[in-house]
Structure 1
Amino acid sequence: MIKRLIAIATPILFSSTLVFADTKDPIFAKCLSKETNNSKYSQCLDTVKIKIDRELETWVNNQLFILEEIARTTGRKSAYDMFKRSQKNFVTFRDNNCKWQFLAELPSNVSAPTYKECYILTSRDRIKELSRIAK
């Protein structure tokens, strides 16, 4: 009886992850195509999260460099200071926004992937914004 319950519950638990991840999104499709359970999917998302953190850090540093140059030429540092504040606020927002989604899913097996998916999507949106501004 327990084996039968596990056999029924396992696909249901994994399929609930698919509700949160956009399977057409290349980031999530890659993890979903390679991984067959929540644990491995979550580990794959960890790798994506590390990559997106590095990319975001690059864009933030690029914007800081641009604003430092502006401050050097104009003598006004207000845009630089405001950007640093906005980045700090973004990190706080991202953390809180993804945490409530994580908490709403507890004690489900999809709570960790839900947090990571949110983190990745929110970070990617910030990267898009910073890349648009830098052009």
Structure 2
Amino acid sequence: MKKLLLVTTLSILFSSFHVTAKAPSPIISQCDEQELEKKAYSQCLDLVKIKIDRELETWENNQLFILEDVAETTGRQSAFNMFKRAQRNFITYRDSNCKWQFLAELPSNDSAPVYKECYILTTKDRINELSRVSK
């Protein structure tokens, strides 16, 4: 099995200049683009994206369960309803935030991986936030 490098640099085009990431998230490192061809790297990111979506769904369901319990105890649904709204807003934000990065890369072949990397990292940030508030 190929050994994956732990640290790679990701360049993302923002407007007319490049910003270089210090080191990619460990979740993206498993798809080290220096070891994989562009198509294989993109396919690997697709698999990570599926995995991270499942993880987010687990944390979302956990938070909904907690807030349902609070609603039953207190009789107030406001936190439950606001969380559902926040989650919908997160999905909209993530989509828009990653799409502008994708569009900024066009017509480069790197545009799809840029979108997927953004999607994965933004979702991972949301998971971290939900895990923090669930404790």
Q: Which amino acid aligns with 2:127?
A: I
| Residue number in structure 2 paired with 1:56 | 56
CA contact (8 A) 1:95 1:119 kept: yes
- Which runs of no fewer than 5 residues in structure 1 stay unpaired? 1-16
- Whether 1:131 and 2:131 are equivalent positions in the alignment is yes
The 5 A counterparts of 1:1-135 are 18-20=10-12, 23-32=23-32, 35-135=35-135
- Which runs of no fewer than 5 residues in structure 2 stay unpaired? 1-8, 13-20
Which structure carries more helix by proportion? 1
Write the distance in 2 (CA, Å) between the matches of 1:23 and 1:45: 16
How many residues are matched? 119
| Residue number in structure 1 paired with 2:15 | none
Which structure carries more strand by proportion? 2
Task: Give the TM-score normalised by the residue count of structure 2.
Answer: 0.82
Write the distance in 2 (CA, Å) between the matches of 1:81 and 1:122: 22
Residue 86 of structure 1 and its aligned partner are, at CA, apart by 0.3
Q: Which amino acid aligns with 2:31?
A: C
Task: Give the TM-score normalised by the residue count of structure 1.
Answer: 0.82
Q: CA RMSD in A?
A: 1.7
Relative CO higher for 1 or 2, CA cutoff 8 Å, sep ≥ 6? 1
CA contact (8 A) 2:10 2:24 kept: no
The structure number with the bigger radius of gyration is: 1
